[in-house]
Structure 1
C-alpha cells in the first residue's frame, strides 16, 4: 500500500493544506482512511508525520475539515509556532499521529481521571532520520507518556521508525533510557514547558511523570482505535469532527465521500499568489489495510 501527498495553497499562510492520495490516486483522509496497522501481527503501526524534528510550525491533521488535510494551527487569526524553550530547538522528535485512533472527549480515562482531547493519538518518533511533513511511516511502539493538557488526557506515544538503522536495538521504553540517556527527561521537560511562552501554565502528567512500557502503550492505542471505530460507525456523536472518508464507510453512510466531492473540496483551496512548484507528490510504501 502506498500514498502520495499534494500541497495546495501557499506555504506559511492560512491557505496552506497538505492532502493525501492512495495508490489509485484517490483523495483520502489521513485521519480515517490510512489504516492503523502496517503489520498487526507484529504490532507495527502507521504514523502520519505532521511536524518534522527541529521545526517550529505547529502543523496538524485538520480533524474538523473535509478530508482532514494537514494544516497549520491558528490562534487568534495567526499561525501558531512553538517557541524554542532552552535548550530545545523546535520539536525534538518527528511528531505526528496514528491514523484511525481518537481520544474520546466523553470518555474519562481510569488512569488519568481526565477525558480525551478529541484528536488522534500523538506519536513522538525518536529515530535518527528527520522526516518530511506528510510522510507515512511504519513505527514500532516503545512506550507512552500520559500528559494532562488543560484538564484533558493527551497521550504521547514513544516510537521508532522500523526502517531506522537502530530500530532493532529498541524494543521497549527501557531501551530508550539505556541507549538515549536524557531523551525521555528532555521529552517530559519539553511537554511541560512548551506552552509557557504563550502565557499558559506548565502541563502536568499522570503516573508521576513515568513513561509506561510497550505493552501498556499498545493497549492505550487499541482503546483509541475502538473509540474511532465507534465514531466512524456513528455510535458516538462526532460533534465538530469531520468524518468524511473515501475508503472506510459504505456508500449509504453520511460519512462516505465520493470522488467528485473529494476533488471539489481540494479544488476549493486556492493559491493566493502564483505557485512556484508548490504542488508535488511523494510516495510512501506501507503495509496492508487491517481494521
Structure 2
C-alpha cells in the first residue's frame, strides 16, 4: 500500500481546493499516487490504472474503509451515527441536496462503475468478453457528456416491476448525470441538486437517469427545474436523450428505448424515484429482500446483518493488488462514430 495522508500533506490538500479538478489531481497523485482526498472521503487506488485489476477503494477522513454504495449517506447534509442521521437535513434554498459518487468524469470513455458484486464495492472498470469497456465517441460527442455517477444508498430492485415503466429495476444504484461545468474525477463525492429524470429502458430493465447539477456550479442557483435547463441550456437535454439512445450502437446493439416517449419527468417525480430506490436499498442491507450477487458488506449501517468490523474492511483492501504503473489506453478509444 502506498503512503497515506499525513499532517505534512495538509497543505497539499488545501492546494487541491484552489485548483481546477484535472490539474489538482495531477499535482496530488504525483506526490501521493495511490491516495486522493475527495470531500470528506479519501480514495485509495489499487492495481494498475487501465487494467482489469484496477480498483478505487473509499475511506473516511479518519482512515476507516467504507463502501461508497452503502456507507456514504444519500442525503448530503446527514451526519450519521451507526447509520442513523443525527442532525436534521440541511436545505439550500429549500432544496434537498444529495451526495453523488462520480464514476466517470466528463469527456472520458472508460466505463468506471461501483462494483456492486465485490466486497466494499470499490470503483472498477467494466469488463465485457474479457476486455475493458470503453464508451464509443458518437459524433459530435467525446465520451460521456456530463460527469456520470451514482446516488449512494439507492438500489433499483430487479425483483420489482415499476408501475410507470412496466420493467424491473437494473440491480444497480440510481444513475446521475451532473450537468455542471466542472470536470470532476473518478471517486469524487459531490453534492448535487436534482432537476429531473429520464427513464431509460436498457435491455428491458428500468434504468433511471437523474439529471442534477453540482451545487458548486455557478449556474446551480439559476437552474431549479428541468424546464430551466431546457430554456437556459438549449440543446443539452436533447443531446442527452440522443447520447443514451445511440451509445451502444457501435458495440453492435440496437438503439436504447425510453419510457414516457423519451420525455423528461420533473423534479418532484425524480425525488419520488430516489425515495423509492432508497427504500429498496434499506430492505437490501437489512436482508429483507433477495440480494442475489449484490455484496452488502458495510462499515456503518445501523443494525445491518452485513455490517463488518474495521479489521475485516481493512483486510479487503490489503488483499487487493498493490498500486502500479498505468497501462496505455487503446488507440481505438479515440475513434469517432458517425451514426
**TM-score scaled by structure 1?**
0.91
- 1:27 counterpart residue number: 65
1:103 aligned to which of 143, 156, 159: 156
Output one character per residue of 1:193-242: Cα deviation in whole Å (capped at 9) or x when no partner.
10111111110001111000111100110000000001011100110000
Q: Secondary structure of the residue that 1:138 maps to in structure 2?
A: strand
The match for 1:236 among 283, 289, 309 is 289
Length, aligned pairs only: 273
| Kept after mapping to 2: 8 A contact 1:232/1:249 | no
User: Hey, what's the Cα distance between the residues in 2 that align with 1:222 and 1:237?
Assistant: 19
Q: What corresponds to 1:212 in structure 2?
A: 265
Q: 1:173 aligns with which of 226, 232, 240?
A: 226
Equivalent pair of 2:287/2:305 in contact (CA under 8 Å)? no
- 1:281: which partner in 2? none
Deviation at 1:132, TM superposition (A): 0.7
- Could you give the per-residue CA deviations for residues 89-136 of structure 1, whole angstroms, max 9, x where no partner exists? 100000000000000001100100000000000000000100011110
* SS of the residue 1:144 aligns to: strand
Instruction: Name the residue aligned to 1:115.
Output: 168
How well do the aligned residues superpose, as a CA RMSD in angstroms? 1.3
Task: Confirm whether residue 262 of structure 1 aligns to residue 310 of structure 2.
Answer: no
Q: Secondary structure at the match of 2:231?
A: helix
In 2, the alpha carbon distance for the partners of 1:275 and 1:126 equals 32
Please tell me whether the aligned partners of residues 246 and 257 of structure 1 are also in contact (alpha carbons under 8 angstroms). yes
Structure 1: distance between partners of 2:308 and 2:104: 27
Pick 1 or 2: higher relative contact order, CA cutoff 8 A, min separation 6.
Answer: 1
Structure 2 Cα separation of the partners of residues 25 and 195 of structure 1: 39
Distance across 2 between alignment mates of 1:43 and 1:150: 32
What's the secondary structure of 2:254's corresponding residue? coil
Aligned to 2:28: none
Q: Name the residue aligned to 1:280.
A: none
Return the index of the structure with the highest Cα Rg: 2
Alpha-carbon distance, 1:271 to partner: 3.3
State the TM-score, normalizing by the size of structure 2.
Answer: 0.79
The aligned residue for residue 240 of structure 2 is 187
Q: CA deviation at 1:264?
A: 1.1
Asked if the contact 1:101–1:221 (Cα under 8 Å) also holds between the matched residues in 2, the reply is yes
Residue ranges of structure 2 left out of the alignment (5+ in a row):
1-38, 78-88, 327-339
Cα distance, 1:275 vs structure 2: 4.6
Alpha-carbon deviation of 1:23? 2.3
Question: SS of 2:76's equivalent?
Answer: strand
> Which consecutive residues of structure 1, in runs of 5 or more, have no partner in the other structure?
277-291
1:37 is matched with 75
Q: Distance in 2 between matches of 1:196 and 1:91?
A: 15
SS at structure 2 position matched to 1:208: helix
